Amino acid sequence: MRISFAGTLGGIVAVGLLIAALGAYPTWALSGVDGLRGELAAAAIVLIGQIVSVVATVRAARRGPLAAAMTFMIAGLGVAAVSLALGIAASALLDFHRLAILLWIVVFFFAMTLAESFSLHRALLGNTSRAGEKRGPAHERD
């Protein structure tokens, strides 16, 4: 089974940029510049975690669809836990707006994980054959 690293990462970055752009004005209106700094930090924290998750999932996909799916789920739990811990640390050490960074970590995590799951779903659909379906070069001439 093959999952495109560049395609998956591109989808995650595109979703992250879209969410960040849509949320910039409301964040600035509610929290000012400190809120925007928290949003940017949250995006960076979650994106780094998602890159690690994509690398692990792409590598596991070489062993088959079950390994890819299990790695995706386990990596997602790790990304969530580490992202929240880093968000709390960043808000304490770097004086970010705590509510903004934690809220944005949750939003970015769900959006970027959903984008990664679409890529995994596409790869799983391409890997499975339906009952009675003829596949391969010998059957393409029919």
d(CA 89, CA 136): 53
d(CA 75, CA 102): 19
Q: Under DSSP, is residue 8 helix (H, G, I), strand (E, B) or coil?
A: helix
In the Cβ-directed half-sphere of 142, how many Cα atoms lie within 13 Å? 8
**Who's near 119: CB < 8 A, 6+ residues apart?**
3, 4, 7, 8, 11
- Give me the percent of the chain exceeding a pLDDT of 70: 89
The better pLDDT of the pair 136, 7 is held by 7
pLDDT tens digit sequence for 11-60: 999 999 999 999 999 999 998 898 899 999 999 999 999 999 999 999 99
d(CA 102, CA 105): 5
Q: 92-96, 98-102, 109-113 — which one is most confidently predicted on average?
A: 109-113
**Please, which pLDDT band fits residue 137 given cuts at 50, 70 and 90?**
low
- Annotated domain spans of the chain: 5-126
Q: Average pLDDT in the 88-115 region?
A: 91
Going by C-alpha positions, the residue among 68, 49, 99 that lies closest to residue 2 is: 68
- Give me the percent of the chain exceeding a pLDDT of 90: 65
